[in-house]
Structure 1
Amino acid sequence: MALSPAERKRRQREREKELDVQTYRMELTGTERWCIQKAAARQGYEDQTEYLLSLVYADLKKPASRACNYPECNCPFDKPSGAECYRGYEERAA
């Protein structure tokens, strides 16, 4: 039995809620859009979002350029053991 448009939309909303899907909007110039489109095509991506996410994931694999070096830092706060960096830097690998 075919789904009605209302049922299809309801299921889509349920899936998006389950996956915590949110809209992300970027304001890009025509040149920026063209560059992304060209670079994605060169790398063999049909989906430009997938291409941009691959760049983000690759960047996350690199060592943090701004790593927390507590207690050597000049942070004005005493950091409890196991707490996150107050400045939002990534913890350095032990």
Structure 2
Amino acid sequence: MADTRETAQVIHAGGSFFQTISDSTDVDWYVYRNDSDKSNWVFELQSPAGINYDYDWIAFGPNGEYILSGTAGDLGPGEIDAASAGGIGFW
């Protein structure tokens, strides 16, 4: 599930979900489509106690073109890593 961009798990605005990451080589894709007039966003990842997961994000435009990417802040094992930005829309 969600192992490729084409099979990405949909994230709904204001929603949350829980999923197990199998190991350090597990790459999962998630997609959020911004149909609103808002351009500020925050994505958070809660690592399990004693484990430190990190994540990167990529923004694509409505035609699939690359817009921007980054890496979430890393707060260490069991903490909530977050990435945020303003002034850009997501599709």
* TM-score when normalising by structure 1: 0.17
Structure with larger Rg: 1
Structure having the higher helix fraction is 1
Structure having the higher strand fraction is 2
* TM-score when normalising by structure 2: 0.17
> Comparing both chains, which one has the higher relative contact order based on Cα–Cα distances under 8 Å and sequence gaps of 6 or more?
2
